[in-house]
Structure 1
């Protein structure tokens, strides 16, 4: 830990008796109290944030430890006044895995705000993330704020449609459920992993969820943590698992959030959904809030299944209007390095395009800096930082406002959409063909592991 502290330049005085340092186990209750007190919504129990914090600091989490928290201590009082955690995970760009650090639980006591504490913590968090081999950082956070720290909205987050509980079909008299529902357990993990990969198929960026993470999601979260999931298996008449669905254990604004609904190949989702929605309705009606929270009946199922999902099509007549997704903030500190990492995907795309076998350069300006990609017979042979010309004379290439290129890289927006939205986004004829071949718009499915 000492050598890493040296890399992070921690502990480090920030002035006025404030000390930036990595957390220790003794800080757990102070950090949990700070997160619960400041981050909980008015209609939420502080315990759901506090228990999540305790879980992350407990040593039981599959990727996160107490040392992944960076805190600011007021040494005059011993109080923890600002904090953030890095939650490591692995995502995939098509079939290429890459390390991701997720900064979370970003908090500062109101009495200590506007002193640059979050910026100081971010510097340490980014260094910590790089030390763990992460090429990308991703945040699910409040509007605009994280743009200050090198982040750009570049992947969809959420997207949902709603089903009123009153529209869930009842069983007819004398009818029995054609499918059965039961809680998932550790023995189900192999089939759950197989089904999870089925829903990832065809998506550009996906979250890699290994066996350890499945064990944790089934049995590791504290009961009152905001991250607690309910995972249920769908069984056919023979008792075989043919699908699963997952929900948040705790509702959000009188809505039960459904994160996943997956069935095996050859199984009719249309046939399964009536049983699933009835089980979800029973779950919603049985929910009891934490002590001290006013009970409010859950009235709606929120199918938060992303930009597109077969459930939206199957239940279209009963669902409310589509609620467009928010977005992940994404940061890529070494853009050329990431491009080189995903080169096999880019080369495959190029080979299947009108630019197959291309030899030459693609120069991309971000105005203050840029990126140069060199190809030989369709192979990426170089991806490096590049300085665009100082003058405003024409050159054959492409231009993007700073960080906007990340939207193209991660398939969030097409080149045409970016050129329409940003007057300072431009590409010449050949660069246009290359960019459209290399970076098409694609749907992603990225779960924020916490």
Structure 2
């Protein structure tokens, strides 16, 4: 499909009377939200009237109240002949910590096309626009979850655990003794609790090396506009909030999922599990990260891990990402036997390569090396690795040995293997990225 630029900001002609543009005004916001909140257009198949309302509220509140989104990055494909929206996407900005280095991520969401307009390249056109926005705003990576395999064609690779949990039957959770009285109580969080929730969340991430950051502004947005269902754990002896958790009912089965928690005390954790047992009395799922106190407690009681799904990541500028995480790489060198190292390391991604130039333990530069021959008899790079496998390595999701089963074309020079392992170790990571509306709906 040939695209023709049209005079005017952010408008592109897609041919046959179709245009692609960003949301401009309140009318566009309402129309975009109605597109996702209508079951009649069958964008997501059959949806209940409740879910339609949830999606509509989600779209409205994201565009009107999210502290960072740009309206122009909520993109629509419009039939100029009828004025109807037939396809959409959007960009949601996030911020992450990578061993003390702040990274910016762009999440692709609200992807949908009316069935009668599919197979005409509208999503591909919007993906191109999305990736241009990612590059222009200098996001370090983009992140997606969605249709299995589909986004691989756009350069995405599965790289981080998401929506993963342990499961435990309620009967495995022991009841409190007859004389045992807990000092804790639970109450729903309100907007004024944003500050304490931000502190508890940050504390809960102290055991992780890679996680999503949640600012005070974002917590206020979640509580006020998205009705985020956080429940605070109050120590009645001091009146202080000592933790929180968020739950949702499991679809198509009786039970509950704790999809986020910040708990730091075994007694408080047991109180929460017993509370959930008394309230729901069947299966209880406890969301990761695995370092979380509630997960560790559930495992001590006999929980089992559910199958893992993964986030899809795309890095538009790999060399730029390496430059940005240089402080983390330098710290890894500093605490290793390579402290003060001076050497060049060639990372060969087969179609292109780059040199990491270390001087006295500091990453002085990352230089493009173009094509490096890694065929039989050629010298190749210090590490030769397909680009999608390298993303898993950089984000600490897998080590070299763990990648070889799926990518046997990874090779590392024996004399370089140790430094590669030092630079790119396994990382404890987890992303929880809430952005949907969780509150009541008027049917």
TM norm structure 1? 0.86
Q: Which runs of 5+ in 2 are unaligned?
A: 436-443
Give the distance between the partners of 2:336 and 2:8, measured in 1 at CA: 44
In 2: Cα distance, 1:428 partner to 1:410 partner: 21
The equivalent residue for 1:155 is: 160
Superposed CA offset, 1:148-190 (max 9, x none)? 1121112221321123345555555575443111122344333
Match of 2:403 in 1: 418
CA distance in 1, matches of 2:89, 2:247: 23
Matches within 5 A, 1:51-200: 51-57=57-63, 59-170=64-175, 176-200=181-205
Q: Can you list the C-alpha shifts for 1:385-441, whole angstroms capped at 9, x where unaligned?
A: 322334723215211123220000000001111123311111112321221011101
| Equivalent of 2:378 in 388, 394, 398 | 394
Say whether 1:279 aligns with 2:275.
Answer: yes
Classify the secondary structure of the residue corresponding to 2:207.
coil
* CA deviation string 1:8-62 (max 9, x = no partner): 97211111211111123323343334334323775772222222112112x2112
For 1:410 and 1:324, the matched residues in 2 are separated by 21
**Residues 387 and 130 (structure 1), Cα distance of their counterparts in 2 relative to 1, 3 Å cut:** closer
In 2, the alpha carbon distance for the partners of 1:7 and 1:95 equals 43
Consecutive unaligned residues in structure 1, runs of 5 or more: 222-227, 286-298
Quick one: which of 205, 211, 227 aligns to 1:206? 211
Give the structure 1 partner of residue 245 of structure 2.
246
The answer to whether the Cα contact below 8 Å between 2:263 and 2:293 also exists between their aligned partners in 1 is no
| Structure 2 counterpart of 1:404 | 389
- More displaced stretch, 353-362 vs 24-33: 24-33
Query: In structure 1, which of residues 421, 430, 436 is the aligned counterpart of residue 421 of structure 2?
Result: 436
1:295 alignment partner in structure 2: none
Tell me the alpha carbon deviations over residues 238-277 of structure 1, each in whole angstroms, 9 at most, x when there is no partner: 243352223245644444331223234xxx32x1233212
Q: Aligned-residue CA RMSD in angstroms?
A: 2.6
Distance 1:167 1:46, change over 3 A: farther
Tell me if structure 1 keeps the 8 A contact 2:89–2:111. Answer: yes
Distance 1:367 1:142, change over 3 A: same
Matched position secondary structure for 1:72: strand
Alignment CA distance shift 1:389-1:315 (3 Å): closer
1:6–1:275 Cα change, 3 Å: farther
- Once residues 18 and 106 of structure 1 are traced to their aligned partners in structure 2, the CA distance between those partners, rounded to angstroms, is 17
1:263 aligns with 2:269: no
Are the aligned partners of 1:62 and 1:212 in contact in 2 as well (CA < 8 Å)?
yes
Mapped partners of 1:68, 1:300: distance in 2: 40
CA distance in 2, matches of 1:124, 1:283: 47
Decide whether the 8 Å contact of 1:155 with 1:327 is kept in 2: yes
Q: Is the 8 A contact 1:94 1:204 kept in 2?
A: yes
Contact 2:260 2:432 in 1 (8 A): no
Q: Give the corresponding residue for 2:29.
A: 28
CA contact (8 A) 1:161 1:322 kept: yes
Count of aligned pairs between the two proteins: 422
- Higher mean alpha-carbon deviation, 307-316 vs 192-201, is at 307-316
Between 157-166 and 414-423, the greater mean CA deviation after superposition: 157-166
Q: Which residue of 1 is the match for residue 56 of structure 2?
A: 50
**Residue in 2 that maps onto 1:445:** 430
Question: Bigger CA drift: 366-375 or 35-44?
Answer: 35-44
Q: 1:378 aligns to what?
A: 361
| 1:233 partnered with 2:259 | no
Task: Give the whole-Å Cα distance in 1 for the aligned partners of 2:165 and 2:406.
Answer: 25
